[in-house]
Amino acid sequence: VMRSNVWALSKAGAEVRVSAPPTMTPRHLEQMPCTVCHDVREACEGVDVIMGLRVQLERQRSALFPSVNEYARFFGIDAECLELAKPDAIIMHPGPCNHGVEMPTYIHEHERSVIHEQVANGVAVRMAVLFLLNAKRNAERAELKPLEIQSDR
């Protein structure tokens, strides 16, 4: 999710900042169109949008970070992050959210959160993207086929 968000948002003209434990960042992150911030507060400073992504707790067995509490403390989106962002910044998360890990419930339910709308519209948006990609693919295939002339005679 993180990689596709970075590429899509940067293509749309956004300046993307990424903050995560080094053990959770993808290889070659420095080659992607984003700024890596080692402090989530640095990443949130002056932004229009704060987007959290789901920590896959099922992978915690591989010890990507010392504890859930430590992750929440150093990389969780909290009130201080909101204070650092622009006053009208929105909060996003594609869901499902691990409350108390990526963000506390009060941030998830904050008046500036659009998480419920994002999740509700997520399936429709993905369907539309797949429809458009499939339509483009079908159009490209049609251009490769020779024209068939049909006659009633």
Give the per-residue pLDDT at 62: 67
Give the per-residue pLDDT at 30: 87
Give the per-residue pLDDT at 56: 84
Give the per-residue pLDDT at 151: 59
Give this prediction's pTM: 0.82
Convert the chain into a string of H (helix), E (strand) and C (coil): CHHHHHHHHHHCCCCCEECCCHHHCCCCHHHCCCEECCCHHHHHCCCCEEECCCCCHHHHHHCCCCCHHHHHHHHCCCHHHHHHCCCCCEEECCCCCCECCCECHHHHCCCCECHHHHHHHHHHHHHHHHHHHHHHHHHHHHHHCCCCCCCCC
Give the per-residue pLDDT at 93: 97
Low pLDDT (below 50) residues in the chain: none
Give the per-residue pLDDT at 153: 54
